[in-house]
Amino acid sequence: MSTVAKFKRIFSGIQPTGFPHLGNYLGAIRSWVKLQEQCDDVIYSVVDLHALTVPQDPLQLRDNIRNLTICLLACGVDPDKSIVFQQSKVLQHTGLYWLLSCRTPSSKLNTQTQWKTKSRTAQVGTPPLGLYSYPVLMAADILLYKASHVPVGDDQIQHLELTRDLAKSFNKLYGNVFPIPRPILGNVPRLRNLRYPDQKMSKSGEDSGRINLTDSPDIIRKKIRRSVTDSINAVTYDPASRPGISNLVETYAALQDSTVEKVCTAFSGKQTVDLKDKLVDLLVAHLIPIQRKMDQLSNDMTYVDNVLYDGCNKASNIAVVNYTEIEAVVGIS
């Protein structure tokens, strides 16, 4: 394997809240697969503790953890090249979360964009403490493994900046304990809702607005054909004035590892429906192999459980050593 030296250790996590959609795949999971070939020390976590910031049905959450693991494996995450594990099974995450919480100024958390947004839109009462301190747990996830790099989307950059600040503060007080993690920024724009292109593609909201990785060819065809564009029957890229068609152009480009300019050139003189039809073919070609692999894995849950079990052991081996060192410098060991 050819290792890129600058990536000493990569850590990233994904929440088991519903089945991943196309935006999750193109924005995160596919890059995870590629990073396995660029670094020999890669850790990916199903971050179930983060999912608890909103109420979860226990049975559904257990299924979601397994289903997400199946999805990651089917998309190409290789447990022989990456550590794949369930966050809550490594208890040192919560231990470091508390130690970092004791060093986190509330002023830092008050400025977090997601907290400000969700506290304003809370329907009943006030958001829970877990949602407020979510970024500290994220910092603990990263720093526990002394990760050098973290793949992040635009919406997580602020959280990673907090992680970097906490690592610097901790190091200033206790010595050079943590490396300062750096972001690995993806080059895929955030996909938009097919029905409401002014919104991001999300697991929440109506199903017609997103392409799920489990959608059949017929469902994909319906969703793409019904996706909102505009009255201009041409393929151009202008996210500000033509968000719907621009979203489809970005999706097509991302699936082909191409650029929006090349897609627009390829469809020059053609109609919007031509892009939609070709996008359906491209989506089906990408997703059918993944779906077949998911079906195989769903019939071999012993293997899936063993992946999580082995991943937990490997992650724990790293976490215990690092946390023991952290306890010592803090003075609680």
Query: What pLDDT score was predicted for residue 166?
Result: 97
Q: Look at the block and give the residue holding tokens 């068609």.
A: 245
Kindly state the tokens that stand for 198. 């002014």
For residues 40 and 18, what is the distance between their CA atoms, to the nearest angstrom? 30
* Residues forming the active site: 118, 200, 203
Q: Look at the block and give the residue holding tokens 């403490």.
A: 129
- CA atoms within a 13 Å half-sphere pointing along the CA-CB vector of 17: 18
3-state secondary structure of 190: coil
What's at 37, amino acid-wise?
Answer: E
From the number of C-beta atoms within 10 Å of its C-beta (0-12, 13-18, 19+), residue 5 rates as exposed
For residues 22 and 105, what is the distance between their CA atoms, to the nearest angstrom? 37
Task: Identify the CA nearest to 228 among candidates 206, 213, 257.
Answer: 206
Query: What pLDDT score was predicted for residue 74?
Result: 98
- Residue 198: phi, psi to the nearest 5? -80, -5
For residues 254 and 292, what is the distance between their CA atoms, to the nearest angstrom? 22
- In tens digits, the chain (333 residues) has pLDDT values of 334 447 899 999 999 988 899 999 999 999 999 999 999 999 999 999 999 988 999 999 999 999 999 999 999 999 999 999 999 999 999 999 999 999 999 999 988 877 777 666 655 567 788 989 999 999 999 999 999 999 998 778 899 999 999 999 999 999 999 999 999 988 888 899 999 999 989 887 788 999 999 999 999 999 999 999 999 999 999 999 999 999 999 999 999 999 999 999 999 999 999 999 999 999 999 999 999 999 999 999 999 999 999 999 999 999 999 999 999 999 998
Q: How many CB atoms lie within 10 A of CB 217?
A: 15
Task: Identify the CA nearest to 150 among candidates 315, 312, 35, 68.
Answer: 35
List, in sequence order, every beta strand (DSSP E) within the chain: 10-14, 42-46, 83-86, 149-152, 182-185
For residues 95 and 276, what is the distance between their CA atoms, to the nearest angstrom? 49
Distance set, CA 242 to CA 116, 147, 313 (Å): 29, 40, 49
Query: What pLDDT score was predicted for residue 1?
Result: 37
Kindly state the tokens that stand for 97. 């979360």
Q: Give me the domains of the chain, ranges plus CATH numbers.
A: 10-190+301-330 (3.40.50.620), 207-296 (1.10.240.10)
3-state secondary structure of 152: strand
For residues 195 and 229, what is the distance between their CA atoms, to the nearest angstrom? 9
3-state secondary structure of 186: coil
Query: What pLDDT score was predicted for residue 203?
Result: 80
